[in-house]
């Protein structure tokens, strides 16, 4: 067989990264090794997979078809590898964890230290992904992740998933201390707000419909890739918008951000821990049990109401 799983992984990495050099970084290979893999595959199959006539290599029609079908083979191969390993040891070969950008992967480092110590006899590979808005749900549905931290909204019907609620994230409308709106009388009307640029974070969903919020019709918008970038942009006075209270709070206390009343409130987001039912194993069980009481994450969130409490809203 001329087609290999490694060649498909290289194609997938190029498509994700947008370049041969970026694919090399994802796969920890030098760019020349990526170029060699692509050329060998093209020579073996006798077709052009990438169009290199422009500044950026683009998949040809044949290349796109190969990658779309090849991704299914990669998922099936990973499933088979996991099944065999679970049958022998109960441990998955790899566990992929999508983390909402508000939480951030850095908060998982103490957790990983504990995991590697507990699973030292047969340690699965761990892959961390950063996702925004609907990205964690999309990563689960598309098979990019087995477990997601910080899922919001409705879950898709397929594949089967299990979930636990973690807590609420509240949002504050903030402007920099030297922004023109910092001294404007409350409440700030939509007509006034529309005159100033909004900063929004782009949804990382690839297959499910993307989400967007935090700006008005005809309002200028600055789109950024992360909550950290949104915070930096608003601190520099480049725009305004809602920020998670757990992230904006320290800047408000320090006087660098000012909370304003815009007459509307962004609804709090209920964060959930969600995992695929078809990916359960000893590693998944470990992470689900540990994350349900993991203080570095729970400390960011407003707690859930006590059992039997009819008030399902977060505290003010």
Please give the average per-residue pLDDT across 271-276, as a whole number: 96
Question: Is residue 121 predicted with pLDDT exceeding 80?
Answer: no
Which DSSP symbol is given to 178?
A: T
| CA-based nearest residue to 99, from 91, 111, 90 | 111
For CA atoms 306, 311, 314, 316, give the dihedral sign.
negative
Share of the chain above pLDDT 70, in %: 91
Indicate whether 307 pLDDT > 50.
no
The pLDDT score that the predictor gives to residue 316 is 39
310, pLDDT greater than 60: no
Which run of H or E residues covers position 164?
strand 161-169
Tell me the helices (H) and strands (E) count for the chain, helix number first.
11, 12
pLDDT tens for 78-119 read 878 766 766 566 788 889 999 999 999 999 999 999 999 988
Bridge partners of 271, per DSSP, are: 167
Burial environment of residue 202 by CB neighbours within 10 A (0 to 12, 13 to 18, 19 or more): middle
Going along the chain from its start, the domains and CATH numbers come out as: 5-72 (1.10.10.10), 92-168+269-298 (3.40.190.10), 171-259 (3.40.190.290)
SS3 302: strand
Q: Which among 287, 140, 260 is positioned nearest to 192, based on CA atoms?
A: 260
Give pLDDT, residue 218: 82
Are 94 and 78 in contact by the 8 Å Cβ rule? The answer is: yes
Question: How far does CA 100 lie from the centroid of its chain?
Answer: 5
What average pLDDT does the chain have? 87
Render pLDDT for 36-91 as a digit per residue (tens, 0 to 9).
999 999 898 889 998 877 777 788 999 999 999 988 888 888 878 766 766 566 78
- Kind and range of the H or E run holding 86: helix 61-89
In angstroms, the Cα distances linking 45 to 3, 14, 63, 180 are: 8, 18, 11, 61
Section 3-27 average pLDDT: 87
Predicted local confidence at residue 100, as pLDDT: 96
Q: Whole-angstrom distance between the N-terminal and C-terminal Cα of the chain?
A: 62
- The pTM of this model reads 0.71
């Amino acid at each position: 067989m001329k087609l290999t799983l490694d060649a498909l992984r290289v194609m997938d990495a190029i498509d994700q990264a947008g370049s041969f050099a970026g694919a090399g970084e994802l796969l920890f290979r030098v760019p020349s090794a990526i170029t060699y893999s692509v050329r060998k595959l093209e020579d073996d199959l006798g077709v052009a997979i990438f169009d290199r006539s422009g500044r950026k290599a683009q998949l040809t029609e044949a290349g796109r078809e190969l990658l779309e079908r090849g991704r299914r083979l990669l998922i099936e191969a990973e499933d088979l590898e996991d099944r065999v390993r679970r049958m022998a040891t109960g441990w998955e070969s790899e566990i992929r964890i999508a983390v909402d950008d508000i939480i951030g992967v850095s908060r998982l480092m103490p957790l990983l230290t504990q995991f590697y110590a507990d699973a030292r006899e047969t340690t699965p590979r761990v892959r961390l992904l950063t996702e925004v808005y609907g990205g964690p749900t999309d990563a689960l549905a598309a098979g990019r992740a087995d477990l997601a931290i910080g899922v919001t909204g409705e879950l898709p019907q397929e594949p089967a998933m299990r979930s636990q609620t973690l807590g609420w994230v509240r949002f504050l409308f903030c402007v920099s201390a030297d922004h023109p709106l910092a001294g404007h009388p409350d409440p700030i009307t939509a007509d006034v707000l529309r005159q100033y640029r909004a900063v929004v974070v782009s949804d990382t969903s690839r297959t499910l419909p993307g989400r967007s919020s935090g700006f008005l019709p005809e309002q200028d918008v600055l789109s950024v890739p992360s909550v950290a970038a949104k915070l930096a942009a608003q601190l520099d006075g480049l725009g305004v918008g809602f920020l998670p209270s757990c992230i904006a709070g320290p800047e408000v206390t320090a006087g660098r951000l000012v909370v304003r009343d815009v007459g509307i409130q962004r609804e709090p987001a209920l964060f959930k821990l969600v995992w695929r039912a078809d990916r359960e194993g000893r590693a998944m069980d470990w992470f689900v049990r540990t994350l349900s009481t993991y203080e570095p994450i729970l400390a960011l969130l407003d707690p859930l109401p006590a059992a039997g409490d009819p008030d399902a809203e977060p505290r003010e």
